């Protein structure tokens, strides 16, 4: 019986956003979708099912992944999310002026950049917890729609799963 419940948690859950948001994705069964204060914002957060227990241990949110529409032009949103086009290639701008390579990605008629941002992490109770690498993706389409996906340092496998299953629908 214990094996069945563990296997059941590993079955991906399919999420389809409300029609006005126009996206769908899969996420692991041992993660949960966290609601936002504004149901019309199209922003979703994903966290491990045992997030509260993990936060008691670490007091640093290194797990939460956010998928959200962005306001503004692609280059403005990319810059807000630590991307820069430097010497002919996309890079991530991190703490202390550190630049790391970013990659160009394509999802159907959407295209953008993906990288790992080196940012400060903070304890939930206050204070700097050190440096963290966070996966970041910024996408746009030919109509000017811009979206981002940002994850905590421990959300890498979830980030990859969402990127592999993320689809824009009905836009």
| pTM of the predicted structure, to 2 decimals | 0.81
Position 7 scores a pLDDT of 43
Residue 167, both tokens: 């689809």
Cβ-based burial of 107 (10 A; exposed 0-12, middle 13-18, buried ≥19) = middle
Determine the pLDDT at residue 150.
92
| CA trace torsion 84, 26, 151, 33 (10° rounding) | 130
The answer to whether 46 and 27 have CB atoms below 8 angstroms apart is yes
Closest to 159 in 3D by CA, of 64, 49, 22, 77: 64
Nearest to 112 by CA among 163, 171, 65: 163
Alpha helix (H) ranges present in the chain? 2-10, 51-58, 74-80, 156-165
Residue spans of the chain under pLDDT 50: 1-9
How high is the pLDDT of residue 102? Answer: 96
Q: What number of H helices and E strands is found in the chain?
A: 4, 13
């Amino acid at each position: 019986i214990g094996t069945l419940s563990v296997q059941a948690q590993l079955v991906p859950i399919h999420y389809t956003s409300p029609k006005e948001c126009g996206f769908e994705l899969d996420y692991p069964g041992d993660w949960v979708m966290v609601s936002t204060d504004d149901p019309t914002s199209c922003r979703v957060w994903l966290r491990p099912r045992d997030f509260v227990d993990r936060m008691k241990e670490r007091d640093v949110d290194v797990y939460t992944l956010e998928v959200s529409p962005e306001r503004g032009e692609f280059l403005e949103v990319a810059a807000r999310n630590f991307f820069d086009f430097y010497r002919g290639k996309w890079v991530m701008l991190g703490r202390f002026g550190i630049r790391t390579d970013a990659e160009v990605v394509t999802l159907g008629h959407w295209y953008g950049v993906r990288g790992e941002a080196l940012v400060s992490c903070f304890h939930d109770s206050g204070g700097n917890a050190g440096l963290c690498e966070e996966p970041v993706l910024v996408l746009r389409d030919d109509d000017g729609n811009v979206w981002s996906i940002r994850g905590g340092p421990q959300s890498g496998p979830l980030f990859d799963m969402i990127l592999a299953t993320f689809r824009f629908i009905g836009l």
